[in-house]
A and B are shown apart, each in its own frame.
Chain A
């Protein structure tokens, strides 16, 4: 068992992941339009602060500042030639913080979507997606990341391309998708589809799950959807700290640390083993989440009503699985010569 995440998943009942990257960096002066990945080179002290914020708050896993570090995204900042370097630097700073923590902390190399639409609807082919993710993974691996961590993915083909890329890089991995559209991903994938997909992958992840999306309630409904398919792999829950609000020229997420503590406990009861936050989740939220997980015993999975009673309503009536509703009235397809 060479990999730290694999080891911790065996040893521990639950693991605390990290919170937001963007929200934290924005608070440190990142302005709209900057590529945060460039800070791995130009402002490493801020990235140290970002990682330390998670580690000092009790995270067992934290994600590197490399979310947009693929060639397609970096090209928009004319930095497509710096993919390897910026990912390596982002992971190196992570390695440094993790090794200095005095406990076992996983450095997870964040890999976000390319931002392109997969063929045939869009321009992104499977092979070019693999190539981009592979280049990024090699940088993360060279910088000392324990695992690659693909997140916020909408298209199943893009998720599969990442799996293939990590196989080529020989880097163990975990991955999450965002279920933000009527209970499914933007491209229409359900929680059940995702379980079926990850369990069929030739290069299986160490864990899989959901991140970001609409709010913490929706995310837990997705986790319940995973659990209903009794997945063999551990489940990840990384939900947003509430809903973004506009306050005095800044964006503020309305989820309090206390609420995120309750979210963490509910996430574990829903069946998640790796629990973290996403947008709006600050160090103080992570402290509350860790305390809540440590001080509350695991209990039965909550009902949907119990979730909404604590965390607020869902953004859509359905979880997208179509089990408790009449089948969608798809129009009949006719054929012709």
Chain B
């Protein structure tokens, strides 16, 4: 059936298994990822190490190739789905072991906008990078964002809009946060097909993210900055 040798995951040494997981994430092979996570747990890997070295490592490659126009949405969705399979196993273990959190994001499409493909993609890639993601879904009024950030205390608020008619609403949310004096408590990232960097600046967001891969890189940068600031205080 195959002219290549079949691979038995359990027979691979750790470093080769992690490389194989990178390939399997890339190819969106969920069952193989789940199997490999179990194998590494059986070899006494810390859940956090599996997350960061194997899963996040693999999704970083996917993110770069998405950013560079080598992979497209269908492949990324499959990869994210495979990642999710691994995360489902690790999540309770990460909580038990008190593993450090990469960061937390609340994300939602703004009021009037019912598009969620791009927003879902960002959510998946953020999870792929180890962030905890609270997805508010579509059509969010300013009240929904405020309630979520109060309850969830995220590091990052992400807003998405696919329509030129809905993108100004992002400014309504940011202005309301300014009024309430909570704007600077959060990093605000915005994205969506019709947006651009100039628009992000004009409405007072911290950054415009061109695609899901850029969103992840930007989020990591802001988290690192936040940690450095906290360390300095």
Seen from chain A, the residues whose Cβ lies within 8 Å of a Cβ on chain B are: 22-23, 26, 30-34, 73, 76, 115, 117, 121-122, 154, 180-184, 186-188, 243-246, 249-251, 253, 279-280, 316, 318, 320, 328-337
In the bound complex, do residue A121 and residue B74 qualify as a contact, i.e. CB atoms below 8 Å apart? yes
- Does more than half of chain A's interface fall in helix, strand or loop, or is it mixed? loop
User: Which residues of chain B are within 8 angstroms of A328 by Cβ–Cβ distance?
Assistant: 65, 68-70
25 contacts between A and B (CB under 8 A): A26-B164, A30-B165, A32-B163, A32-B166, A32-B169, A34-B112, A121-B77, A181-B72, A181-B73, A182-B68, A188-B73, A188-B74, A244-B199, A245-B199, A251-B167, A251-B194, A253-B164, A279-B194, A318-B69, A328-B70, A331-B27, A332-B23, A335-B2, A335-B4, A336-B6
Q: Nearest chain B CB to A313's CB is how many angstroms away?
A: 13
Instruction: Determine if B183 is an interface residue (Cβ-Cβ < 8 Å).
Output: no
Interface size class on chain B is 35 or more
Chain B binding site: helix, strand, loop or mixed by DSSP?
A: loop
Q: Does B113 contact A (CB under 8 A)?
A: yes
In B1-34, the 8 Å CB interface with A consists of: 2, 4, 6-9, 20, 22-23, 26-27, 32
- Min C-beta distance of A227 to chain B, whole Å: 22
Known: A249-B171, A251-B168, A333-B27. A31 touches B112 (CB 8 A): yes
Closest chain-B Cβ to A296's Cβ sits at a distance in Å of: 29
Interface string of B181-200 (1 = CB under 8 A from A): 00000000000011110110
Given the interface pairs A32-B112, A337-B6, the reply to whether A246 lies near B199 with Cβ below 8 Å is yes
What number of A-B contacts does a CB cutoff of 8 Å give?
A: 124
- Nearest-CB distance from B170 to chain A (Å)? 10
Is B115 part of the binding interface, using a Cβ–Cβ cutoff of 8 Å?
yes
Question: Could you tell me if B198 and A334 are in contact, using CB atoms closer than 8 angstroms?
Answer: no
Contact between A336 and B32 (Cβ–Cβ < 8 Å)?
Answer: yes
Task: For residue B50, give the distance in angstroms from its CB to the closest CB of chain A.
Answer: 20
The reply to whether the CB of B39 lies closer than 8 angstroms to some CB of chain A is: no
**Residue interface bits B71-88, CB-to-A below 8 A is 1, else 0:** 111110110010000000
